[in-house]
Chain A
Amino acid sequence: MSMSFLNTIIALETFDFDAALHAVTAADVERTLSRDEQLDRRDLLCLLSPAAQPYLEAMARKARQLTLQHFGRVIGLYAPLYISDHCANACTYCGFHAGVDFPRTKLTLAEIEQEAAAIAATGIRHILVLTGEAPAQTPLSYLADTVRLLRAHFSSIALEIFPLDEAEYRILREAGADSLTVYQEVYDRAIYQEVHPAGRKADYDWRLNTPERGARAGFRALNIGPLFGLGEPRREAWLAALHARWLEVEFPDVEISLSLPRMTKAAGAIAPRHLVSDIDFVQFMLAWRLFMPRLGITISTREAAVFRDRLLHLGATRFSCGSKTGVGGYAVRSQEQAPVQFAVTDDRSVEDVAAMLRRNGCQPIFKDWELV
């Protein structure tokens, strides 16, 4: 087994990222943009630098070309399914953390069935299952039962649950889950400790190594990302992409995707310390695309409809849609009753998003996997 990405993180802690970022010149950016070979971490740093902001249009043209070539004029669609908001963690930025007082809900299998049927009726075939970190309330057996039940409704089942060990992931793989989403939240170790003061999530290394355990357990796709707002955004964007590249090299048979969730203020949670503007957001996405032409880029309904529609042509490959981010929000409870993890800003229906894609010369792809 080769060394974990943790070694890269530790090695880079002595690298003066800020100095390197501000030393980037326009000539460096131009040289990077003219390279016709795989970009390295220096190139990525150039593209993420303030010096690259005047070159966004040139970056966008390249990103668009690469996305078209590797993915075509299509966008994959999926929906999230929150099955429990019980959580023993203390993430200071999250509306579901243990210290927030609200009645917690865990769906029964019968309720999950109702939710699944409601989502599947919209045409969605790829589902993302989410829980908080509360193994006592949502043990492995409950998760495995959930996955087995969802197989009847969906052709791809992704998990965004608390980190497990490799053997536990194998059980969920065998139950029928094929993809794993796990966000590091913040790559900066000091800030990570600060915002995760207690609970299992306080263990940085365990979380960082989660995608590796998932890949070894046989998941065919991994989706990672930083939660923008916690650490210094350019450095976070850089480290997240290096993590993706590391996984791509280590596990060549696994599809790697990145997300760019921007923190929004949730009830009972801290406000973001760093704001990522729309310009920064687009710059990060373009830099990632140029750095990794085959990278999946997932855009959630955290982003506003008008903004998401523009990202179609800039490197995005997957959109969530019709999302309800509270437990039971599709069929079991009215959305008003369900406390939400974050506020959805693009609240269009699946049908409306699909129609928007078609109007913009993009084919919505509902099914792109087959469980075998």
Chain B
Amino acid sequence: MTETMNAADDALLLGGVRFTNRLLTGTGKFASRDLIAPMLAASGSELITVALRRVDPKAGEQDILRYIPPSVRVLPNTSGARTAEEAVRIARLARAAGCGDFIKIEVITDNKYLLPDNAETLRATEILAKEGFIVLPYMFPDLTVSRQLHDAGAAAVMPLGSPIGSNRGLEMKAMIRRMIESSRLPVIVDAGIGKPSQAAEAMEIGADAVLVNTAIATSADPVMAGKAFGLAVQAGRLARLAQLAGEKEYAEASSPLTGFLRG
């Protein structure tokens, strides 16, 4: 976690851009694209990911990008890429399509579990960071790769909490904790967050932000779900900043080990 020293101005900086909200959202899986704008308003999310494969300038008013209010920043992703080269080409297309410099790298060679290929992701990050992209790589939580992504110029690291769409929460918690302890980049937990309580938990253990799509988009009421996740992320963040006392397994006598010193 990148520690803040000023709780009154608790902004998240990604590639020099300030975000005051720490919930990232997505555009996939909604029953209707018309739900995206009200979901964004209810959740407060300021950064939303869009698969370039679904962007279609030829569709005019129907294009997915038209459904995102101008106040919200677009985070195009490279869904569908199976190699670093494909991810790089998709990123360039996204920039050319007017999506800006942010890019979320997804290189997936495992269609069954949708787990990221860290080696290809690292290669794509190196290339795109040099081209001036603000690179947010979706990755399997691995400390070594996390350091390498930092050195390659990533703007944050995005470890998965559990497989995409699984709603299983922080199955990778132990490794994500280690990443949070040691990362010099913001740690954004991406994928697998199924409930607001899991999003809050990620923030409580020190994640800088979380990305939630499936759980919001496939709920019966995505607008209300967006609000619930927005509040959970805020609650988790405030809890982290307040440095809540940890849980105890049993009642503690005041000084069982050192009390004798005071006779």
Residue numbers of A with Cβ under 8 A of B are 68-74, 123, 125, 155, 220, 248, 252-256, 294, 358, 361-363, 365-370, 372
Q: Mark B196-208, 1 if CB is under 8 A from A, else 0.
A: 0000000000000
Give every chain B residue within 8 A of A68 (Cβ-Cβ).
218
Interface-lining segment among B9-17, B104-112, B139-147, B227-235: B104-112
| B32 engages A248 (CB within 8 Å) | no
> Measured between C-beta atoms, what is the minimum distance from B243 to chain A in Å?
36
Interchain CB contact under 8 A, B112 and A248? yes
Q: Are B31 and A252 in contact (CB under 8 A)?
A: no
Do A365 and B54 touch across chains, with their CB atoms under 8 A apart? yes
Given known contacts A220-B82, A368-B54, A372-B89, A73 and B111 CB-to-CB distance under 8 angstroms: no
How far, in Å, is B181 (CB) from chain A's closest CB?
32
- In chain A, what residue has the closest Cβ to B111? A255
A363 touches B165 (CB 8 A): no
- Nearest CB on A from B147, distance (A): 27
B59 touching A366, Cβ below 8 Å: yes
Within B15-69, the residues touching A (CB, 8 Å) are: 28-33, 51-56, 58-59, 62
A367 CB contact (under 8 Å) in B31, B56, B93, B108: B56
B32/A363 in contact, CB under 8 A:
yes
State in angstroms the CA–CA spacing of A125 and B64 once bound together: 14
Chain A interface, DSSP helix/strand/loop, else mixed: loop
The answer to whether B167 and A72 have CB atoms under 8 Å apart is no
Within the complex, the shortest CB–CB distance from A361 to chain B, in Å, comes to: 5
User: Which chain B positions have C-beta within 8 A of A220?
Assistant: 80, 82
On whether A72 and B30 interact (CB within 8 A), knowing A155-B56, A369-B53, A372-B93, the answer reads yes
Asked whether A358 lies within 8 Å of B52 as measured between CB atoms, the reply is: no
Partner of B31, one of A248, A256, A361, A370: A361
Closest B residue to A156 using CB positions: B53
A277 to B74, CA, bound (A): 47
Q: A370-B93, A372-B90 are known contacts. Are A363 and B31 too (CB-CB below 8 A)?
A: yes
Asked if A253 and B82 make an inter-chain contact with CB atoms under 8 angstroms apart, the answer reads: yes
* Shortest Cβ gap from B74 to chain A (Å): 16
Q: Which residues of B contact A366 (CB under 8 A)?
A: 56, 59, 62
Residues of the A chain whose Cβ atoms lie less than 8 Å from the Cβ of B217: 72-73
Q: A73-B29, A73-B30, A363-B32 are in contact. Are A372 and B86 (CB under 8 A)?
A: yes
Q: Please give, as numbers and ranges, the residues of chain B lying within 8 Å of A362 by CB-CB distance.
A: 31
Most buried by A among B51, B54, B112: B112
Residues of A within 8 A of B62 (CB): 123, 366
Residues of A within 8 Å of B53, CB to CB, are: 155, 367-370
Q: Are B59 and A367 in contact (CB under 8 A)?
A: yes
B31 partner residues in chain A, CB cutoff 8 A? 73-74, 361-363
**B162 at the A interface (CB under 8 A):** no
Please indicate the chain B residues that have their CB under 8 angstroms from the CB of A248 in the complex.
111-112
- CB <8 Å contact, A252 and B56: no
| Residues of chain A contacted by B28 (CB below 8 angstroms) | 72, 74
Q: Contact flags (1/0) for B155-191 with A, using CB distance below 8 Å? A: 0000000000111000000000000000000000000
Q: Is the CB of B111 within 8 A of A294?
A: yes
Other 5 A-B pairs with CB < 8 A, given A73-B31, A372-B93: A74-B29, A252-B111, A367-B54, A368-B51, A372-B89
Contacts of A361 in B (CB 8 A): 31-32
B52 contacts across to A, CB distance below 8 A: 370
Q: What chain A residues lie within 8 Å of B51 (beta carbons)? A: 368
Pairwise interchain contact A72-B111, C-beta atoms closer than 8 A: no
Determine the residue in chain B with the shortest Cβ distance to A67. Answer: B218
